[in-house]
Amino acid sequence: MKRLIPSGRLLAPLMLAACAGAGTAHAHDAPATMPPVAADAMGLVKAAVVDMRNCSKAKYPPGTLPEVAQGTTFLSLLIGTDGAVLESQLERSSGHPQLDEAARAALSICHFTPAQQNGQPVQQWATVAYVWEPEAK
């Protein structure tokens, strides 16, 4: 009789691959952590911690009205071994290119907790969501 369910050895890598998606964080919210991602034969990678509470808040660009220009900018950030952002990519626009660029610029100068593999820091991509909304008065 043929087995329809993969063996445990095949299922585990599939489950790790399914968990490899990045976490999201809202600006100035609690730290975002991502599930472990598949590494190599040496072990798993402990995900980078993207805690945006330590970042300066992005400012609305000149000529942009907070009451009109709102949305969420999704960015992928390459977190280096020292926690610095080495690279950034726009994953999904807020619908306002000026806001997307302001979020990218603000988050690119932040420092985060790098991912670790076998106790050593490693580079890892993390996805964050920067929410643009007017400040409460």
What value does the CA radius of gyration of the chain take, rounded to a whole number of Å? 18
Compute CA distances 29 → 5, 7, 43, 58, 94, whole Å: 40, 40, 30, 14, 18
pLDDT in tens, the chain (137 residues): 322 222 222 222 222 222 333 333 344 433 444 444 445 555 678 999 988 888 888 888 888 877 778 899 999 999 999 999 999 999 999 999 999 999 999 999 999 999 999 999 999 999 999 999 877 65
Separation between Cα atoms, residue 94 and residue 110, nearest integer Å: 20
pLDDT at 61: 87
